[in-house]
Amino acid sequence: MSAEDFTKAASRLCTACGMCCDGTMFQIVKLQPGDNPAELGRLGLKIRSRDGEFHMEQPCAALKELSCTVYAMRPTRCRLFHCQQLRRVESGEAAEHEALAVIVAAREWVGRVRDLIVQNGLREDGQALLDRFERVMSTPVDATLEPELAVAREALDQAMRKLRLVINREFRPPPLAK
Ligand code: SF4
Ligand code: SF4
């Protein structure tokens, strides 16, 4: 696949996915030397500092309808990040339609986890998926007193395990975290 064809395929796949920007895969993205925290903050990104290092919080404020609205100015790690699906398409290991099918299936698991988090009593609040999951799971449930909630909690735990497996196996590249 030529570089031009890959760029077009990646654009189509990423605008059907968004999982490395919407708080599904990452809670934060660390800024790198060369990134300008003040400028990125002015663009609306949620820039925070901790121990002298800057990061931006996810879900990313620049993601609108699965597209990056600051694409030309996006941080270094965003530029460098290619998930496993993109890598497979680029190398010819997978066709674009195969990668799209994996993305669609993964997003179904994301939807299931989101629905189950709400069923477990935590309404949508714009935080990263893992943060929301951990907040739900940190509240103990007595299955004797709240049997229905215990069932919903177990279903959420199972769905999140499955989603993590899918993300680790199909998306997260081993050598570089975003
Ligand atoms: S996880 Fe991969 S396909 Fe999805 S938006 Fe990120 S780079 Fe694109
Ligand atoms: S700046 Fe753009 S590419 Fe980076 S996380 Fe935000 S939406 Fe995604």
pLDDT of residue 1: 78
The reply to whether the predicted model has a pTM over 0.85 is yes
What is the rounded CA–CA span in Å between residue 14 and residue 67? 8
DSSP 175: S
Domain ranges in the chain are 3-170
Ligand 2, atom 5: nearest CA belongs to which residue?
Answer: 21
Question: CA 98 to CA 78: how far, in whole Å?
Answer: 23
In this structure, the strands spanning 47-50 and 28-30 are unpaired
Mean pLDDT (the chain, rounded): 94
Give the tens place of pLDDT for each residue, 58-101.
999 999 999 999 999 999 999 999 999 999 999 999 999 999 99
Pocket residue to mutate for ligand 1, from 11, 14, 15, 107, most atoms within 8 A of Cβ: 14
pLDDT digits (tens, 9 = 90+) for 108-140: 999 999 999 999 999 988 899 999 999 999 998
pLDDT value, residue 116: 97
Do 170 and 81 touch, CB atoms closer than 8 A? Answer: no
Does ligand 2 come within 6 angstroms of the Cβ of 21?
Answer: yes
Give nearest CA residue, ligand 2 atom 8. Answer: 21
pLDDT at 143: 87
Q: How confident is the model at residue 159 (pLDDT cuts 50, 70, 90)?
A: very high
User: Is the predicted pLDDT of residue 39 greater than 60, yes or no?
Assistant: yes
